[in-house]
Amino acid sequence: MNLLQFCEKKKNNEKLTILTCYEFTTAKLLAKEELDALLVGDSLAMVYHGFESTLSATVDMMAQHTAAVKRGAPDSLIISDMPFLSYRKGLAPAMEAAGLLMQQGATAVKLEGSRGNLELIEHMVDSGIPVMGHLGLTPQSYNVLGGNRVQGRDPEVAKKIKDQASDLEKAGCFSLVLECVPQDLAKEITAELTIPVIGIGAGNSCDGQVLVLPDMLGMLPDFSPRFVRRFTQGAQWVSQAVKEYINQVKAGDFPNEKESFQ
Ligand code: KIV
């Protein structure tokens, strides 16, 4: 899968599927599936490192995880998040951060918001760095937004998101993530843009969907936002396997003869 094929899918009315991926073993597993891209999301700060928000992700963290995912999924389209503030301190540091992510194996980078980013996005694209936009709920701004809540219910905010989506397309973004916006707004934006719109908590009219892998695997039973569907009960199967391991070790059943060296 390359970016042209990714974008073609919108024209062909084929839904795009993306999942987050943060490390080698999972990347190897996901690479075998027909996903269109793997997102090394800055959500890794929360679900992988246990921080409270994505604000704790750093460029070094993103680079290390991108490299691990690339080693596990060398042929996949890998999109890496530019972490908090890494693209807001001026052109040179932003290009350095994006360049590092690309050198570690990203095919493209994703950054949040539009205002103040358009010139940078143009420069990145002109420099060979494909950029995915991210609007609606932008978790790096959750302090400004007053929490992780649906964006665009208010008509003024909805208009702003629509305008920003169009600005991002004009600046050269190859795709756009819309997070936690009303489905009608997502539908309008998806129809207006020629680039693929990927939804998370944005209804099913988008050109594709993205989910955070531990969420859709049911690994975090205490976290169940409305827009997440658990496609399996991961926490339960981990618990069952670990219980079984403990029981078998205690009963003297593991390791057996075949699992031991003579
Ligand atoms: O960091 C992330 O996982 C993301 C998705 C929620 C789109 O940006």
Mean per-residue pLDDT over the chain, rounded: 97
Q: How much is the average pLDDT of 90-112?
A: 98
* Tens-place pLDDT, residues 229-239: 999 999 999 99
* SS3 state at 211: strand
The size of the chain, in residues, is 262
Residue 30 reports pLDDT greater than 90: yes
Cβ neighbours of residue 93 under 8 Å, at least 6 residues apart? Answer: 86
Q: How much is the average pLDDT of 196-210?
A: 98
Domain locations in the chain as residue ranges: 3-231, 234-262
**Which percentage of the chain shows pLDDT scores above 70?**
100
Residue 206 reports pLDDT greater than 90: yes
Q: Ligand 1 mean position to 113 CA, how many Å?
A: 13
| Rounded CA separation 141/152 (Å) | 15
pLDDT at 61: 98
Global confidence as pTM: 0.97
Q: Is 19 in the pocket of ligand 1 (CB under 6 A)?
A: no
Instruction: List the catalytic residue out of 179, 192, 244, 257.
Output: 179
Q: Is 41 in the pocket of ligand 1 (CB under 6 A)?
A: yes
User: In this structure, which CATH number among 3.40.50.150, 3.30.9.10, 3.20.20.60, 3.40.50.300 belongs to the domain 3-231?
Assistant: 3.20.20.60
* Tens-place pLDDT, residues 143-187: 999 999 999 999 999 999 999 999 999 999 999 999 999 999 999
Atom of ligand 1 nearest to the CA of 198: 7
Q: Is 135 in the pocket of ligand 1 (CB under 6 A)?
A: no
Q: How much is the average pLDDT of 219-241?
A: 95
Q: List residues bridging with 177 in a β-sheet.
A: 134, 198
Residue 98 reports pLDDT greater than 90: yes
Q: Reduced to 3 DSSP states, what percent helix, strand and coil does the chain have, rounded to the nearest 5?
A: 45, 15, 45
pLDDT at 1: 86
